[in-house]
Amino acid sequence: MRAFEVNFDGLVGPTHNYAGLSVGNVASLKNADQASNPKQGALQGLAKMKALSDMGLKQAVLPPLERPDVNTLRLLGFKGSDAEVIQQASQQAPAIYAATCSASSMWTANACTVSPSADTKDAKVHFTAANLSNKFHRSIESPTTSRILKAIFSNDAHFVHHEPLPLGDHFGDEGAANHTRFCTDYQSTGVEFFVYGKYAFDATKPAPKKFPARQTFEASQAIARLHELSTNKTVFAQQHPDVIDAGVFHNDVIAVGNQNCLFYHENAFLNTEQVLSDLQNAFGEQPLHFVMVPEQLVSVKDAVHSYLFNSQLVTLGPDHMAIIAPGECHENEKVKSYLDSVILADNPIKEVKIYDVKQSMQNGGGPACLRQRVVLNETELAATNHSVFMNEQLFSTLNNWVEKHYRDTLTEKDLADPQLLEESRSALDELTRILNLGSVYPFQL
Protein backbone atom coordinates (compact mmCIF):
# COMPACT_ATOMS: atom_id res chain seq x y z
CA MET A 1 0.00 0.00 0.00
CA ARG A 2 1.30 3.46 -0.84
CA ALA A 3 2.30 5.81 1.95
CA PHE A 4 2.87 9.55 1.98
CA GLU A 5 4.71 12.06 4.07
CA VAL A 6 2.20 14.62 5.32
CA ASN A 7 3.50 17.92 6.65
CA PHE A 8 1.43 19.22 9.56
CA ASP A 9 2.36 22.91 9.90
CA GLY A 10 1.64 24.90 13.01
CA LEU A 11 -0.58 27.90 12.49
CA VAL A 12 1.00 30.99 14.06
CA GLY A 13 -1.18 31.96 17.02
CA PRO A 14 -2.87 35.32 17.75
CA THR A 15 -0.43 36.08 20.61
CA HIS A 16 2.77 35.58 18.56
CA ASN A 17 5.37 37.84 20.20
CA TYR A 18 9.06 38.24 20.91
CA ALA A 19 9.77 37.77 24.61
CA GLY A 20 13.34 36.42 24.61
CA LEU A 21 12.29 33.23 26.36
CA SER A 22 14.74 30.72 24.92
CA VAL A 23 18.28 30.79 26.32
CA GLY A 24 20.52 29.02 23.81
CA ASN A 25 18.37 30.17 20.85
CA VAL A 26 20.26 33.10 19.34
CA ALA A 27 17.34 34.67 17.42
CA SER A 28 14.95 34.50 20.39
CA LEU A 29 17.35 36.46 22.60
CA LYS A 30 18.40 38.88 19.87
CA ASN A 31 14.83 39.93 19.03
CA ALA A 32 13.48 40.08 22.58
CA ASP A 33 11.17 43.07 23.08
CA GLN A 34 10.70 43.81 19.37
CA ALA A 35 7.12 44.37 18.28
CA SER A 36 5.71 41.33 16.48
CA ASN A 37 3.08 41.07 13.76
CA PRO A 38 0.90 38.00 14.45
CA LYS A 39 -1.25 38.59 11.38
CA GLN A 40 1.75 38.66 9.07
CA GLY A 41 3.24 35.62 10.83
CA ALA A 42 0.08 33.56 10.30
CA LEU A 43 -0.24 34.66 6.66
CA GLN A 44 3.42 33.80 5.97
CA GLY A 45 2.90 30.33 7.42
CA LEU A 46 -0.27 29.75 5.42
CA ALA A 47 1.48 30.84 2.20
CA LYS A 48 4.23 28.26 2.78
CA MET A 49 1.62 25.54 3.45
CA LYS A 50 -0.28 26.41 0.28
CA ALA A 51 2.92 26.44 -1.80
CA LEU A 52 3.83 22.92 -0.64
CA SER A 53 0.31 21.71 -1.26
CA ASP A 54 0.48 23.22 -4.78
CA MET A 55 3.69 21.21 -5.36
CA GLY A 56 1.56 18.07 -4.97
CA LEU A 57 2.73 17.34 -1.41
CA LYS A 58 0.25 16.40 1.29
CA GLN A 59 -0.14 19.33 3.65
CA ALA A 60 -2.21 19.81 6.78
CA VAL A 61 -2.50 22.32 9.59
CA LEU A 62 -2.21 22.10 13.38
CA PRO A 63 -4.02 24.81 15.35
CA PRO A 64 -2.37 27.13 17.90
CA LEU A 65 -2.90 26.84 21.67
CA GLU A 66 -4.97 29.02 23.99
CA ARG A 67 -2.83 31.89 25.26
CA PRO A 68 -2.36 33.59 27.68
CA ASP A 69 -2.58 30.34 29.63
CA VAL A 70 -4.66 31.53 32.59
CA ASN A 71 -5.01 27.99 33.93
CA THR A 72 -1.25 27.78 34.44
CA LEU A 73 -1.31 31.22 36.10
CA ARG A 74 -4.01 29.97 38.49
CA LEU A 75 -1.80 26.97 39.36
CA LEU A 76 0.85 29.55 40.32
CA GLY A 77 -1.47 31.31 42.76
CA PHE A 78 -3.05 34.13 40.73
CA LYS A 79 -6.74 34.42 41.55
CA GLY A 80 -10.00 36.07 40.54
CA SER A 81 -11.61 36.51 37.14
CA ASP A 82 -9.51 35.86 34.02
CA ALA A 83 -8.98 39.62 33.64
CA GLU A 84 -7.81 39.87 37.27
CA VAL A 85 -5.43 36.93 36.85
CA ILE A 86 -3.93 38.61 33.77
CA GLN A 87 -3.63 41.97 35.48
CA GLN A 88 -1.94 40.61 38.62
CA ALA A 89 0.40 38.26 36.78
CA SER A 90 1.48 40.86 34.22
CA GLN A 91 2.23 43.38 36.98
CA GLN A 92 3.68 41.15 39.71
CA ALA A 93 5.50 38.55 37.59
CA PRO A 94 5.98 39.94 34.07
CA ALA A 95 8.51 37.27 33.02
CA ILE A 96 6.20 34.42 34.06
CA TYR A 97 3.27 36.17 32.43
CA ALA A 98 5.19 36.54 29.13
CA ALA A 99 5.95 32.81 29.19
CA THR A 100 2.24 32.00 29.43
CA CYS A 101 1.54 34.20 26.38
CA SER A 102 3.99 32.55 23.98
CA ALA A 103 2.65 31.26 20.67
CA SER A 104 5.50 28.71 20.66
CA SER A 105 3.19 25.83 19.66
CA MET A 106 3.59 27.10 16.06
CA TRP A 107 6.88 25.11 15.95
CA THR A 108 5.16 21.78 15.53
CA ALA A 109 8.43 19.94 14.87
CA ASN A 110 8.52 20.07 18.68
CA ALA A 111 4.92 18.97 19.19
CA CYS A 112 5.69 15.25 19.22
CA THR A 113 7.70 12.37 17.81
CA VAL A 114 5.87 10.17 15.32
CA SER A 115 6.82 6.67 14.18
CA PRO A 116 5.03 5.39 11.09
CA SER A 117 3.31 1.99 11.13
CA ALA A 118 5.96 0.49 8.81
CA ASP A 119 8.50 0.84 11.64
CA THR A 120 6.51 -0.27 14.69
CA LYS A 121 5.98 -3.78 16.05
CA ASP A 122 2.18 -3.48 16.23
CA ALA A 123 1.99 -1.84 12.76
CA LYS A 124 0.26 1.26 14.18
CA VAL A 125 1.35 4.89 13.97
CA HIS A 126 2.79 5.95 17.36
CA PHE A 127 2.70 9.52 18.71
CA THR A 128 4.43 10.85 21.82
CA ALA A 129 3.75 14.50 22.62
CA ALA A 130 7.03 16.16 23.63
CA ASN A 131 7.34 17.29 27.27
CA LEU A 132 9.56 20.27 26.26
CA SER A 133 10.87 20.27 29.84
CA ASN A 134 13.79 22.60 29.22
CA LYS A 135 11.79 25.80 28.71
CA PHE A 136 8.90 26.70 30.99
CA HIS A 137 6.88 28.40 28.23
CA ARG A 138 7.09 25.23 26.14
CA SER A 139 6.59 22.73 28.98
CA ILE A 140 2.96 23.86 29.27
CA GLU A 141 2.15 22.92 25.66
CA SER A 142 1.73 19.15 25.86
CA PRO A 143 -1.74 18.70 27.47
CA THR A 144 -3.56 20.61 24.73
CA THR A 145 -1.20 19.35 22.01
CA SER A 146 -2.13 15.79 23.04
CA ARG A 147 -5.84 16.57 22.84
CA ILE A 148 -5.38 18.07 19.36
CA LEU A 149 -3.40 15.06 18.11
CA LYS A 150 -6.08 12.73 19.46
CA ALA A 151 -8.80 14.80 17.74
CA ILE A 152 -7.00 14.46 14.38
CA PHE A 153 -5.75 10.88 14.69
CA SER A 154 -8.66 9.45 16.61
CA ASN A 155 -9.01 5.92 15.24
CA ASP A 156 -7.36 3.54 17.71
CA ALA A 157 -7.23 0.75 15.14
CA HIS A 158 -4.42 2.75 13.51
CA PHE A 159 -3.10 5.35 15.97
CA VAL A 160 -1.46 5.00 19.41
CA HIS A 161 -0.98 8.08 21.62
CA HIS A 162 1.55 7.91 24.45
CA GLU A 163 1.75 10.24 27.43
CA PRO A 164 4.63 12.76 27.29
CA LEU A 165 7.75 11.51 29.13
CA PRO A 166 7.96 12.51 32.83
CA LEU A 167 8.73 16.24 33.20
CA GLY A 168 12.20 17.29 34.35
CA ASP A 169 15.67 17.60 32.90
CA HIS A 170 16.44 13.86 32.95
CA PHE A 171 13.85 13.05 30.30
CA GLY A 172 13.86 16.34 28.38
CA ASP A 173 12.24 15.56 25.03
CA GLU A 174 11.88 18.05 22.17
CA GLY A 175 10.03 15.80 19.73
CA ALA A 176 10.83 15.52 16.04
CA ALA A 177 13.32 18.41 16.05
CA ASN A 178 15.82 15.72 17.10
CA HIS A 179 14.37 12.84 15.10
CA THR A 180 14.71 11.93 11.42
CA ARG A 181 13.61 8.92 9.43
CA PHE A 182 15.39 7.40 6.46
CA CYS A 183 13.67 5.04 4.02
CA THR A 184 13.80 3.90 0.41
CA ASP A 185 10.18 4.93 -0.09
CA TYR A 186 7.70 6.08 2.53
CA GLN A 187 5.81 2.76 2.73
CA SER A 188 8.94 0.72 3.52
CA THR A 189 10.36 0.13 6.98
CA GLY A 190 12.67 3.00 7.77
CA VAL A 191 15.64 3.77 9.97
CA GLU A 192 14.71 6.08 12.83
CA PHE A 193 17.53 8.40 13.82
CA PHE A 194 17.49 10.00 17.27
CA VAL A 195 19.93 12.81 18.11
CA TYR A 196 20.44 13.82 21.75
CA GLY A 197 22.43 16.58 23.42
CA LYS A 198 23.62 14.88 26.60
CA TYR A 199 23.40 11.89 28.92
CA ALA A 200 21.27 12.71 31.95
CA PHE A 201 22.42 9.79 34.08
CA ASP A 202 26.16 9.91 33.32
CA ALA A 203 27.95 13.15 34.14
CA THR A 204 31.30 11.83 32.83
CA LYS A 205 30.05 11.99 29.22
CA PRO A 206 30.62 15.11 27.03
CA ALA A 207 27.98 17.84 27.36
CA PRO A 208 27.67 21.52 26.36
CA LYS A 209 29.07 24.08 28.81
CA LYS A 210 27.33 27.31 27.95
CA PHE A 211 23.82 26.49 26.71
CA PRO A 212 21.47 23.70 27.76
CA ALA A 213 21.16 20.37 25.97
CA ARG A 214 17.39 20.09 25.68
CA GLN A 215 17.18 16.43 24.61
CA THR A 216 18.67 13.59 26.63
CA PHE A 217 19.89 10.21 25.46
CA GLU A 218 17.60 8.58 28.00
CA ALA A 219 14.56 10.42 26.60
CA SER A 220 15.38 9.37 23.03
CA GLN A 221 15.73 5.76 24.14
CA ALA A 222 12.42 5.90 25.99
CA ILE A 223 10.63 7.11 22.84
CA ALA A 224 12.17 4.28 20.79
CA ARG A 225 10.98 1.77 23.42
CA LEU A 226 7.47 3.24 23.62
CA HIS A 227 7.14 3.20 19.83
CA GLU A 228 8.25 -0.45 19.71
CA LEU A 229 10.95 0.16 17.12
CA SER A 230 13.39 -2.58 16.04
CA THR A 231 16.81 -2.08 17.56
CA ASN A 232 18.54 -2.86 14.26
CA LYS A 233 16.55 -0.09 12.56
CA THR A 234 17.19 2.58 15.21
CA VAL A 235 20.30 4.76 15.44
CA PHE A 236 21.22 7.12 18.31
CA ALA A 237 23.79 9.88 17.90
CA GLN A 238 25.08 12.67 20.10
CA GLN A 239 24.99 16.22 18.84
CA HIS A 240 28.38 17.91 19.09
CA PRO A 241 28.36 19.84 22.43
CA ASP A 242 30.27 22.71 20.81
CA VAL A 243 27.51 23.37 18.29
CA ILE A 244 24.91 23.51 21.07
CA ASP A 245 27.13 26.14 22.68
CA ALA A 246 27.18 27.97 19.32
CA GLY A 247 23.36 28.24 19.30
CA VAL A 248 22.27 24.92 17.76
CA PHE A 249 19.57 24.19 20.32
CA HIS A 250 17.93 21.41 18.26
CA ASN A 251 19.52 19.02 15.75
CA ASP A 252 17.22 20.38 13.03
CA VAL A 253 19.23 23.62 13.15
CA ILE A 254 22.30 21.71 11.83
CA ALA A 255 20.97 18.68 9.89
CA VAL A 256 17.93 17.49 7.95
CA GLY A 257 17.17 14.11 6.42
CA ASN A 258 14.64 12.68 3.99
CA GLN A 259 14.34 9.22 2.44
CA ASN A 260 17.91 8.26 1.40
CA CYS A 261 19.56 11.62 2.01
CA LEU A 262 21.16 13.29 5.04
CA PHE A 263 22.06 16.96 4.59
CA TYR A 264 24.26 17.99 7.50
CA HIS A 265 27.03 20.27 8.69
CA GLU A 266 30.53 18.87 9.14
CA ASN A 267 30.44 19.69 12.87
CA ALA A 268 26.89 18.51 13.63
CA PHE A 269 27.70 15.26 15.45
CA LEU A 270 30.21 13.81 17.88
CA ASN A 271 31.95 10.80 16.29
CA THR A 272 30.63 11.57 12.81
CA GLU A 273 32.30 8.55 11.13
CA GLN A 274 30.58 6.20 13.55
CA VAL A 275 27.21 7.92 13.09
CA LEU A 276 27.37 7.64 9.30
CA SER A 277 28.45 4.01 9.40
CA ASP A 278 25.67 3.13 11.91
CA LEU A 279 23.12 4.80 9.62
CA GLN A 280 24.37 2.98 6.53
CA ASN A 281 24.45 -0.39 8.32
CA ALA A 282 20.90 0.06 9.58
CA PHE A 283 19.72 1.25 6.16
CA GLY A 284 21.03 -1.88 4.41
CA GLU A 285 22.39 -2.35 0.93
CA GLN A 286 21.07 0.73 -0.83
CA PRO A 287 23.51 3.63 -0.41
CA LEU A 288 22.55 6.65 1.65
CA HIS A 289 23.53 10.06 0.28
CA PHE A 290 25.51 11.96 2.87
CA VAL A 291 25.55 15.61 1.77
CA MET A 292 28.07 17.18 4.12
CA VAL A 293 28.50 20.96 4.26
CA PRO A 294 32.08 21.81 5.29
CA GLU A 295 32.79 24.51 7.87
CA GLN A 296 35.05 26.14 5.29
CA LEU A 297 32.10 26.80 2.97
CA VAL A 298 29.39 27.56 5.54
CA SER A 299 30.43 28.12 9.15
CA VAL A 300 28.26 26.95 12.06
CA LYS A 301 27.71 30.65 12.76
CA ASP A 302 26.38 31.27 9.24
CA ALA A 303 24.25 28.13 9.51
CA VAL A 304 22.71 29.40 12.78
CA HIS A 305 22.03 32.87 11.34
CA SER A 306 20.66 31.76 7.96
CA TYR A 307 18.95 28.54 9.17
CA LEU A 308 20.26 26.69 6.10
CA PHE A 309 19.65 23.31 7.76
CA ASN A 310 16.25 24.25 9.11
CA SER A 311 15.06 23.76 5.59
CA GLN A 312 12.54 21.12 4.64
CA LEU A 313 13.90 18.43 2.35
CA VAL A 314 10.97 17.16 0.31
CA THR A 315 10.61 14.60 -2.48
CA LEU A 316 9.02 16.00 -5.64
CA GLY A 317 9.74 12.98 -7.89
CA PRO A 318 12.07 9.98 -8.25
CA ASP A 319 15.58 11.07 -7.18
CA HIS A 320 14.34 14.64 -7.12
CA MET A 321 14.30 16.47 -3.81
CA ALA A 322 13.81 20.16 -3.12
CA ILE A 323 15.17 22.24 -0.27
CA ILE A 324 12.50 24.55 1.15
CA ALA A 325 14.64 27.26 2.71
CA PRO A 326 13.92 30.52 4.56
CA GLY A 327 14.55 33.90 2.87
CA GLU A 328 17.52 34.50 5.21
CA CYS A 329 19.51 31.88 3.21
CA HIS A 330 19.57 34.24 0.25
CA GLU A 331 20.66 37.19 2.39
CA ASN A 332 23.94 35.42 3.24
CA GLU A 333 26.36 35.29 0.27
CA LYS A 334 28.16 32.13 1.40
CA VAL A 335 24.95 30.25 2.06
CA LYS A 336 23.43 31.40 -1.21
CA SER A 337 26.42 30.29 -3.24
CA TYR A 338 26.45 26.96 -1.39
CA LEU A 339 22.80 26.44 -2.31
CA ASP A 340 23.54 27.37 -5.93
CA SER A 341 26.23 24.69 -6.02
CA VAL A 342 24.52 21.86 -4.11
CA ILE A 343 21.85 21.37 -6.78
CA LEU A 344 24.55 20.80 -9.41
CA ALA A 345 26.40 18.15 -7.37
CA ASP A 346 25.82 14.40 -7.45
CA ASN A 347 23.00 14.01 -4.92
CA PRO A 348 19.17 13.90 -4.95
CA ILE A 349 18.82 17.65 -4.14
CA LYS A 350 17.76 19.26 -7.41
CA GLU A 351 15.94 22.46 -6.46
CA VAL A 352 15.95 25.24 -3.87
CA LYS A 353 12.74 27.08 -3.07
CA ILE A 354 12.79 30.10 -0.81
CA TYR A 355 9.92 31.22 1.45
CA ASP A 356 9.52 34.20 3.73
CA VAL A 357 8.75 33.06 7.29
CA LYS A 358 10.51 35.98 8.95
CA GLN A 359 8.01 36.46 11.78
CA SER A 360 8.79 32.92 12.95
CA MET A 361 12.51 33.13 12.07
CA GLN A 362 12.93 36.06 14.45
CA ASN A 363 12.10 33.66 17.27
CA GLY A 364 14.42 30.94 15.93
CA GLY A 365 11.83 28.97 13.97
CA GLY A 366 12.48 28.20 10.30
CA PRO A 367 10.50 26.17 7.73
CA ALA A 368 11.42 22.83 9.34
CA CYS A 369 10.50 23.98 12.87
CA LEU A 370 7.07 24.91 11.59
CA ARG A 371 6.20 21.40 10.45
CA GLN A 372 5.65 17.95 11.91
CA ARG A 373 6.11 15.08 9.47
CA VAL A 374 3.62 12.23 9.67
CA VAL A 375 3.99 9.29 7.29
CA LEU A 376 0.60 7.70 6.66
CA ASN A 377 -0.45 4.88 4.35
CA GLU A 378 -3.69 5.13 2.34
CA THR A 379 -5.82 3.47 5.04
CA GLU A 380 -4.38 5.67 7.80
CA LEU A 381 -4.82 8.74 5.64
CA ALA A 382 -8.49 7.85 5.17
CA ALA A 383 -8.81 7.46 8.97
CA THR A 384 -7.38 10.94 9.64
CA ASN A 385 -9.60 14.00 10.25
CA HIS A 386 -9.83 15.45 6.75
CA SER A 387 -10.83 18.96 7.73
CA VAL A 388 -7.21 19.83 8.59
CA PHE A 389 -5.89 19.17 5.06
CA MET A 390 -4.82 22.16 2.99
CA ASN A 391 -6.68 22.92 -0.22
CA GLU A 392 -7.94 26.04 -2.05
CA GLN A 393 -10.97 26.31 0.18
CA LEU A 394 -9.24 25.84 3.52
CA PHE A 395 -6.52 28.27 2.43
CA SER A 396 -9.07 30.94 1.67
CA THR A 397 -11.10 30.22 4.84
CA LEU A 398 -8.00 30.44 7.03
CA ASN A 399 -6.73 33.62 5.38
CA ASN A 400 -10.10 35.26 6.05
CA TRP A 401 -10.10 33.90 9.60
CA VAL A 402 -6.66 35.45 10.24
CA GLU A 403 -7.70 38.78 8.71
CA LYS A 404 -10.76 38.83 10.95
CA HIS A 405 -9.18 37.89 14.28
CA TYR A 406 -5.48 38.80 14.33
CA ARG A 407 -3.72 42.00 15.33
CA ASP A 408 -0.94 43.39 13.19
CA THR A 409 1.27 44.49 16.04
CA LEU A 410 1.94 43.16 19.55
CA THR A 411 4.31 44.52 22.17
CA GLU A 412 4.85 43.42 25.77
CA LYS A 413 2.37 46.08 26.87
CA ASP A 414 -0.33 44.70 24.56
CA LEU A 415 0.06 41.22 26.05
CA ALA A 416 -1.34 42.52 29.35
CA ASP A 417 -4.60 43.57 27.68
CA PRO A 418 -7.31 41.14 28.93
CA GLN A 419 -9.12 41.74 25.65
CA LEU A 420 -6.37 39.75 23.88
CA LEU A 421 -7.51 36.58 25.68
CA GLU A 422 -11.10 37.20 24.57
CA GLU A 423 -9.99 37.77 20.97
CA SER A 424 -7.83 34.69 21.04
CA ARG A 425 -10.61 32.50 22.46
CA SER A 426 -13.17 33.64 19.95
CA ALA A 427 -10.68 33.00 17.11
CA LEU A 428 -9.87 29.51 18.43
CA ASP A 429 -13.51 28.64 19.00
CA GLU A 430 -14.23 29.41 15.36
CA LEU A 431 -11.10 27.51 14.30
CA THR A 432 -12.16 24.31 16.08
CA ARG A 433 -15.34 24.43 14.01
CA ILE A 434 -13.45 25.07 10.75
CA LEU A 435 -11.09 22.18 11.48
CA ASN A 436 -13.79 19.96 12.96
CA LEU A 437 -11.82 19.26 16.12
CA GLY A 438 -14.53 19.24 18.77
CA SER A 439 -13.57 20.70 22.16
CA VAL A 440 -9.80 20.73 22.67
CA TYR A 441 -9.04 23.99 24.49
CA PRO A 442 -9.30 24.47 28.27
CA PHE A 443 -11.94 27.21 27.76
CA GLN A 444 -14.07 24.72 25.82
CA LEU A 445 -13.82 21.84 28.32
Please list the active-site residues.
174, 250, 369
259 burial (CB, 10 Å; 0-12 / 13-18 / 19+) is: buried
Q: Is 37 in the site for ligand SUG (CB under 6 A)?
A: no
Q: Which is nearer to ligand SUG, 32 or 297 (CB)?
A: 32
Name the helix (H) or strand (E) containing 50: helix 38-54
Query: What is the rounded CA–CA span in Å between residue 322 and residue 317?
Result: 10
Q: Is 94 in the site for ligand SUG (CB under 6 A)?
A: no
User: By rule CB under 6 A, what string of x and - marks binding of each residue 350-389 to ligand SUG?
Assistant: -------------xxx---x--------------------
At closest approach, how far in Å is the CB of 32 from ligand SUG? 6
Q: Is 113 in the site for ligand SUG (CB under 6 A)?
A: no
User: By rule CB under 6 A, what string of x and - marks binding of each residue 123-152 to ligand SUG?
Assistant: ------------x--x--------------
Q: Is 5 in the site for ligand SUG (CB under 6 A)?
A: no
Q: How far is CA 206 from each of CA 217, 238, 239, 301, rounded to the nearest angstrom? A: 12, 9, 10, 21
Q: Is 22 in the site for ligand SUG (CB under 6 A)?
A: yes
31 burial (CB, 10 Å; 0-12 / 13-18 / 19+) is: middle
Q: Which is nearer to ligand SUG, 100 or 260 (CB)?
A: 100
**Short-list 439, 427, 419, 441, CA closest to 82:** 419
DSSP codes, 242-293: HHHHTT--SGGGTEEEETTEEEEETTSBSSHHHHHHHHHHHH-SSPPEEEEE
User: By rule CB under 6 A, what string of x and - marks binding of each residue 147-186 to ligand SUG?
Assistant: ------------------------------x---------
Query: What is the rounded CA–CA span in Å between residue 101 and residue 65?
Result: 10
Q: Is 110 in the site for ligand SUG (CB under 6 A)?
A: yes
Q: Is 109 in the site for ligand SUG (CB under 6 A)?
A: yes
Q: Which is nearer to ligand SUG, 17 or 53 (CB)?
A: 17
Q: Which is nearer to ligand SUG, 31 or 187 (CB)?
A: 31
**Backbone phi and psi for residue 409, each to the nearest 5 degrees, phi listed first:** -155, 140
Query: What is the rounded CA–CA span in Å between residue 36 and residue 406?
Result: 12
Amino acid identity for residue 267 in this structure = N
Residues that bind ligand SUG (CB under 6 A): 18-22, 25, 28, 102, 104, 107, 109-110, 135, 138, 177, 249-250, 252-253, 363-365, 369
